[in-house]
Structure 1
Amino acid sequence: MKSVHRRASGAKTRARAGERAELRIDALAAGGAGVGRLAGEVVFVPATAPGDLVEVELDRSARPARGRLLRVIEPSAERVAPPCSFADACGGCDWMHVRVEAQQAAHEQIVRQAIARATSLAELPEVRVHPAPQALGYRSRARLFARAERGEVRVGYRAPRTHDVVAVDRCLVLADEIAPLAGELPGLLRGAAGEGDILIAQGASRRPVVEILWRGALPPAVWQLLDQRTASGAWAGARVTLDGARQAASFGDPRPVIQGADGAPLLLAPGGFGQPSEEGAAVLARRAAELAHLDSSRSPHLVELFAGSGTLSVLLARGAQRPPGPAEGAPPAAPGGLASFTAVELVPEAVACLRQNLAARGLAGKVIEADADEAPIPPRADVVVLDPPRGGAPGAARAIAASGARVVVYVSCDPATLARDLGVILRGGFEITDIEVVELFPQTSHIESIVRLSRSRRPRADPGGSAPAR
């Protein structure tokens, strides 16, 4: 079929599948694609920047329609040349072609629009953006992918919208301590069969720790090299989990270690969740603690859900009173302190790290190993802080809405599930007082945000669903 070119302005006829068209990119959407319109219909075009005039090949089978970028006819002022030679092939940094300030503006707009759509609120507080201290070399941890083919192993990131592995021997967003691993791992895994995920991070004394989740076979040389790396002190630790194995094999201490928001070392569970940027995680923790403050004449009871290894806890728990013994009464809370601190986390290894992190700082608090999305909110809870995974916390949102809590601080990595859960909490008698975006993932479309809510009225009997039993 002969290609036909249409301009975005004045095009009245619907383009057919595979047809070429020109359109102007208006904005960036959640997920990273640019958004343009063709005859009034929305078209998503990856690898574009706001203001670009582009030629695309249309795919009308997708909803919304997708456009494969063929060329940039007129680059906008928001487009920059990516500093990384792998940027076009690698799916790791999907916004490296966008000016950093435009990335921040897009993150702000995406969060605001998601909340406005889900809550139907006519007015929202101004979104405060915390820029990243540095746009490159910021990641203290990352997930790589590896695939063995004919005895050689390619290590890198997934190509955009595929499971193909793009081999990367240097990554500009990795911190200096772990950046060499991208080039070192293919040789270490030589002779392996299969594929896997490789989590790299900083461990004790900022030495690398490596977590290998392998689906296939690893030759004896791999195990020997891992032992050598840790025994020599080049790596702090490593851990290997083979698909189907009942137990992981550990070398040295495979737990990641970052500098906590309080300046002290913070242990993370091996293979568990952790923010990508040490400095960004500190900003996030400080803001969560500041927003959790309750201006009250009495010391509040604070509950943290999805506490992980304690990235937020080490600040939230400050001033908490030691739980009384069996024969003791509750001690009076210190001025400006907490009456109590309770953290809920499901993963046992994260719970162990959380307890160790609190103990190392002399912080009091109760740590409960349970599913935070199903845990009841204690009747005396005044403040609830939650940092759920990407899927959000629908159960916790219902429990919070039905609770007596007065302040909620919701930390989220997904605007859509955040907005969904906020709608439930708002129906429980809360109002949004603060919305903030922390630039934890510069060069990417990923967004980390914080929303603070305060109670404006008593909860309804059943806001958006049944609350977990108490």
Structure 2
Amino acid sequence: MELTVERLGHLGDGIARGPDGTAIVVPRTLPGEVVTGTLVDDMLENVRIVTPSSDRVRPPCRHAGPCGGCQVQHVSDSAVRDWRVDVVTTALAAQGLEAEFLPMHVSPPASRRRATLGARRTKKGAMAGFHGRASDSLVEIPDCKLLAPAVAAALPLAQDLAAVAGSRKGTLAVTVTSSGSGLDIAVSGGKELDTPLQVELAKLAGASDLARLTWGGETVAQRRPPFQTFGRARVVPPPGAFLQATPEGEAALLADVRTIVGDAKRVADLFAGCGTFSLPLAETAEVHAVEGDSAMTKALDRGWRDAEGLKRVTTEARDLFRRPLTPDELKRYDAVVLDPPRAGAQAQVAEIAAARVPVIAYVSCNPTSFARDVRVLVQAGYSLETLRIVDQFRWSTHTELVARLVL
């Protein structure tokens, strides 16, 4: 079957139309390309590109074919930018919205400071890497162009962890985070922790000079507190806690959040994590930080108490999906920062709209849930003024953004 690819879908695959007009997914292709292949259900397999697009480039990483860590390395940077803008524009248009786009920020290669590696025992030893595209298989990635050097250096250790306490039937999830004092590694999916295993793991942690190693949520070795720096504060997050993917991406988001909040004197930071925005904003404003995970709020509070020169920061562990802040609670704030997970903040947004907080800085990792939430705010009288895409998950289908909404 011969087809012409019409567009790039939100998962990074080409979309063509079959003879009957139905959409057909054509993996790793670009708009305008003429392709042939075998149609299986709604996907074209055994794809051969007859006429390539001028936007097709040679992937910078030699692992790009089998590895599932990146989806759009075969697309030129300019085409990726256009595609991300189109993804967000389409999500907004579905809700009857539009926005002024500020220039996109793109994190550089080799900047991912946190990644979850898969590690597994094999007949000959062990292997570690990323899962293959739509597969449970592992692909080794010794020349990965995505990971920061410190994170990439943990690949041999991930193999050692699998050899010591992994299974040939299961895969360890090894979350590696670069901290200010060394690598912070959290492992799940391995053998049950007992005394002999704890001894072996402590030896590995010492040999690799890890800041911290946790196994199944339990700390087995900590040579130094693995801190992250947020403004003037140092915070030691709980194992596996959320962290923006790249320092450059975090800096871009923070710069826009600062600009949006402006000279607000009291700020509510909702879905605050460990203080990515709360602590820098506390340099000029009092901040109330709300997060569902109590371990994160405790880490944030300790970071604030140990820092100098910050205004008052209060913390609250609260499930904002089930118990959002009410208008009576919100009316004391001049600005709100929202950074929810992919599901968005539907319940909380309804309360913010009722409270009519003057300024909102909305950080989102899902254009669809973002557009849904913004529609509620616009209907309540807010204006979606500016929006910036922050591409810190380079070469992936993940699109993050930050937007300014005002009454």
Instruction: Answer yes or no: same fold by TM over 0.5.
Output: yes
Is 1:59 matched with 2:40?
Answer: yes
Q: Structure 2 vs 1, CA of residues 90 and 292 (structure 1 numbering), >3 Å: closer, same or farther?
A: same
Structure 1 residues 221 and 166 mapped into 2: Cα distance closer, same or farther (>3 Å)? farther
Q: 1:376 aligns with which of 296, 319, 325?
A: 325
| Structure with the higher helix share, 1 or 2 | 2
Partner of 1:284: 253
Deviation readout 1:65-90 (Å, 9 max, x if unpaired) = 33335112222121111122221111
In structure 2, C-alpha distance between the alignment counterparts of 1:443 and 1:390, rounded to whole Å: 19
- 2: CA distance between counterparts of 1:255 and 1:410? 31
Percentage identity across paired residues of the two chains = 28
- Cα distance 1:452–1:254, how it changes in 2: closer, same or farther (>3 A)? farther
Match of 1:75 in 2: 52
2:11 equivalent to 1:31: yes
Whether the 8 Å CA contact 1:307–1:313 is kept in 2: the answer is: yes
1:22 equivalent in structure 2: 2
Counterparts of 1:415 and 1:254, CA distance in 2: 38
C-alpha deviations, 1:138-169, integer Å up to 9, x for none? Answer: 11110112233458433221221233322333
- 1:154 maps to amino acid: M
Partners of 1:218 and 1:81 lie apart in 2 by 45
Equivalents in 2 of 1:141, 1:376: separation in Å?
Answer: 31
- State the one-letter code of the partner of 2:324: A
Q: Deviations over 1:160-206 (max 9, x none)?
A: 1233322333422111112121233213321532322110011243x
Alignment partners' CA distance in 2, 1:204 and 1:225: 25
Matches for 1:123-162 after TM superposition, within 5 Å: 124-134=98-108, 136-150=109-123, 152-162=125-135
1:452 aligns with 2:401: no
Matched to 1:211, the amino acid is: A
Matches within 5 A, 1:182-261: 182-191=155-164, 192-193=166-167, 194-205=170-181, 207-217=182-192, 223-231=198-206, 234-241=209-216, 248-252=218-222, 256-260=226-230
Cα distance in 2 for residues equivalent to 1:222 and 1:51: 55
Distance in 1, matches of 2:232 and 2:56, equals 37
Q: Which one of the candidate residues 147, 152, 170 is aligned to 1:179?
A: 152
Number of corresponding residues: 397
Unaligned 5+ residue runs, structure 2? Answer: none
Of the candidates 382, 401, 405, which is equivalent to residue 353 of structure 2? 401
Partner residue of 2:371? Answer: 419
In structure 2, relative to structure 1, the CA distance for the partners of 1:44 and 1:451 (3 Å cut) is: farther
Amino acid paired to 2:172: G
Give the AA of the match of 2:356: G
Counterparts of 2:24 and 2:377, CA distance in 1: 33
- Deviation of 1:221 (Å): 7.1
**Is 1:350 matched up with 2:299?**
no
Matched residue type, 2:69: G
Q: Any gaps of 5 or more consecutive residues in structure 1? A: 1-20, 242-246, 321-339, 456-470
Matched, 1:307 2:272: yes
Instruction: Determine the C-alpha separation between the residues in 2 that align with 1:388 and 1:102.
Output: 28
**Structure 2: which amino acid aligns with 1:202?**
S
Higher relative contact order (CA 8 A, sep 6+): 2
Gap change, CA 1:96 and 1:264, over 3 Å in 2: farther
Q: 1:417, 1:163 → 2: CA distance? A: 28
CA distance in 2, matches of 1:130, 1:346: 30
Structure 2 residue corresponding to 1:167, chosen from 135, 140, 143: 140
The letter of the residue matching 1:341 is: V
Distance 2:65 2:232 in 1: 37
Question: Aligned with 1:156: secondary structure?
Answer: strand
Q: CA deviation at 1:382?
A: 2.6
- Show the counterpart of 1:44: 25
SS in 2 for 1:171: coil
Q: What is the CA RMSD across the aligned residues, in angstroms?
A: 2.4
Say if 1:189 and 1:222, in contact at 8 Å, map to a contact too.
no
Letter in 2 for 1:284: L
Residue 338 of structure 2, aligned match among 371, 374, 386: 386
8 Å contact from structure 1 (residues 209, 254) kept in 2: no
Asked if the contact 2:383–2:406 (Cα under 8 Å) also holds between the matched residues in 1, the reply is yes
State the partner residue of 1:100: 77
